Each structure stands twice: as C-alpha cells, then as structure tokens.
Structure 1
Amino acid sequence: MTNQFTDDHYNSRVTDEERAEIRRLHAEGKGRNEIARTIGRGLRTISVQAAKLGLEFDPAATEDATRARMAQLASKRALLAEVLLDDALALTEQMWQPATLHSFGGKDHTYETRPIPEPLPADKRALMSAASAAITQSLRLAPPVTDNGEEDAKSMLGRVMSGLAQVWNEQQTADEGDGDAE
C-alpha cells in the first residue's frame, strides 16, 4: 500500500515554510485536520507545531465537528441496519420460493439441475441462520426505540393519586368543619 507522500516526507523535519503555512491556515480559521490535509502532514505533527507556535484550536469547533461526525456515523449505521433487515426479509422469503436442486456426480460425473417447489430443509436452515444473523446485526446497529408508554402511565397515575389525595383532604376538612358546627 502506498501513501501519497513518501516516507522521507513523514520523517523529515518541519520546514520554516510549513510552519508559516500552519500559522497562515490557522489564522484563516482552519482546523487541525484541514491543515494536516492541506500541507500533507500528520495530525500529531500539526498539533505539536501549533503548540510550539502558541496556536490553539477552537474547542467549540472541534466539538461541533465531532458532533457532526457522530451524526453522520449514526445515519450510516441506521442505513446499514435497514439494508440488513431488507436482506433478512429477502432470505426468509427464499425459504418458500421455488428453488433449483444442483447435483454433480454419478459414474459419468455429470452435472444436473432440477427445479423443486421450495428449498430443502437444510437449505431452509441455512437461510434462516443467515436471516437471523442479519437481524441480530441490524438490532446492534440500530436498537429499536421502545415507547411503551410506561412513563406516561406512571405520570398519569401520579396525577390521579394526587387528585384523589386532594379530594380526600378537602373531604376531611369539610367533615371536620361539620363536626365543629354540632
């Protein structure tokens, strides 16, 4: 595997021109990764040189870039999970579709095919195993969101209990007031 830069470039000392370029790009508001790509140096090299030059990178920009990257990765995982579920559906559908039986052998070593109404049990087992693996990986990539309303139910029950307690307290106060009148 070859890199676009020679080993000599990676191992060579940073030149005054490269330091000036780092300073210029930093002044333009470029981030560490963009500077590294622009001048063809590693991220660590840029970090070390920036520190030597007294340059700091905006942590908010780094945080924003990290959040954006995490969102991109989450989107890709969701897409991959969807593709895996589609694969699982296709595999399970194959279990009940017509198939072709292939055989090779006999004394003349012939190759033959024969249509069958559905795959053989061993082939169905293999299809089910493959579908199961696809579903499992899909669930790992994008676990289902369970909104069974449990929190809403607890909240509603809490409000009902508070209301009943308030009515009971009002009733007790009213009963005590009636008792004073006697």
Structure 2
Amino acid sequence: MAAPWSESDSDQLARLHESGQSLHAIAKQMGRSKQTISRWADKLGLTFDRSMTAKAAEAVHVDNKSKRVTLEARLLDEGGKLLDQLWDPTIVFSFGGSDNLYSEHQLERPTFGDQKAIVQAVSTALAAANKLAELHNDGHDLPAVDAWLEAMTGANDDNQRPVGEVEAGS
C-alpha cells in the first residue's frame, strides 16, 4: 500500500506538471497510480493538455494506416508469387535407406497435395489483404461500391427486382 499523500507530494506533482510531463510520466516517476495523480491534480487545480496526446494518437493512426497499405501490397505480391509456383517444375526429395541417403527428383509441377497447399496459402494471403483493404478504406468508397452493386445486380432497372426480393408464389 502506498504511503499517504503529503504536502511534499503535492509540491512534486506541481513541479512535474509545470515541467510539462504527462500524467502517465508523473505517475511513474512518483510511484503512484494514474488515478491518484489525476485526483490530486484536480484538487490542486492542475489540468493535463490532451492536444499533444491527440496529435500523437493521430500520428500513430496515420503511420499504422501506411503500414497496412504496404502490408496489403506485399500480401498481394506474395500471393502472386505463390500462384506462379502452381505450374513450375519442383524438386521432391527424401532421406532414406540404411545409410540415410539423400535423393531428389524433379517433377513437372508440384504434387496435387502441394498445389492444394499453395492455393490455400494464396487464399489466406488474399483474405488478409482484403481485411487490410477494409481497414484502410474507412468507408470512403461506399458510394462507389453501391454503384457497382447496383450495376451488377440491376437493382435500378425497372425490369429487375431489388436484391433479396422474392417473386410472389416462389
């Protein structure tokens, strides 16, 4: 349990606050919880400027968005490289026999099982890239998506039923 709050704690809090330190930094330096520092700062009439925190958070958000875009592009590139392997010659190998000898053979293309694994890996990469695209899209392209869906489904054509509507008697 922490020692009771003292006048010297109040003085130290005021000095640290005046030096521009954050609530978190002051709590860490004084060995107190952020709640305790916040409560005593309120009692002393001290406030913490959150504008720097908001700017820092926005900077982190922008940096992360850039990283997601880069990662999305890398996933798509790697998925393409994996697809190229589907029909490329491949080497199969094994160690065996009493002498544990290495043996290899070149095949015209990967085995069916390996091709299946490649397709699954590509599918995983594409799904991850699509999730990243959704994250950085932030809904800005929704009107374009709506227009595309209308064009694909013919929802605005007078002769077409809206998507999901069932004809009577069906």
TM range (shorter): 0.5 to 0.7
User: In structure 2, which of residues 68, 74, 88 is the aligned counterpart of residue 77 of structure 1?
Assistant: 68
User: In structure 2, which of residues 25, 31, 39 is the aligned counterpart of residue 51 of structure 1?
Assistant: 39
SS at match of 1:93: helix
| TM-score with structure 2 setting the length | 0.61
SS at match of 2:47: coil
In 2: Cα distance, 1:138 partner to 1:29 partner: 42
How far the C-alpha of 1:103 sits from its partner, in A, is: 2.5
How far the C-alpha of 1:126 sits from its partner, in A, is: 0.5
Alpha carbons 2:13, 2:41 under 8 Å: kept: no
How far the C-alpha of 1:107 sits from its partner, in A, is: 6.4
Indicate the percent of aligned positions where both proteins have the same amino acid: 27
For 1:142-157, what aligned pairs fall within 5 Å after superposition? 142-143=133-134, 146=141, 147=144, 150=147
SS at match of 1:57: coil
Of structures 1 and 2, the larger Rg is shown by 1
Alpha carbons 1:84, 1:135 under 8 Å: kept: yes
In 1: Cα distance, 2:102 partner to 2:73 partner: 38
In 2: Cα distance, 1:49 partner to 1:68 partner: 26
Q: 1:95 is matched with which residue? A: 86
Q: How many residues align?
A: 139
How far the C-alpha of 1:149 sits from its partner, in A, is: 8.3
Alpha carbons 2:95, 2:103 under 8 Å: kept: yes
In 2: Cα distance, 1:33 partner to 1:72 partner: 23
User: Which residue identity lines up with residue 14 of structure 2 in the other structure?
Assistant: R
Alpha carbons 2:94, 2:104 under 8 Å: kept: yes
SS at match of 1:53: helix
For 1:11-22, what aligned pairs fall within 5 Å after superposition? 13=3, 20-22=11-13
The runs of at least 4 consecutive aligned structure 1 residues that moved more than 6 Å come to 14-18
Structure 2: unaligned runs, 5 residues or longer: 149-170
> Which structure has greater helix proportion?
1
- Closer/same/farther in 2, CA of residues 31 and 116 from structure 1, 3 Å limit: same
Aligned-residue RMSD, C-alpha: 3.4
How far the C-alpha of 1:121 sits from its partner, in A, is: 1.8
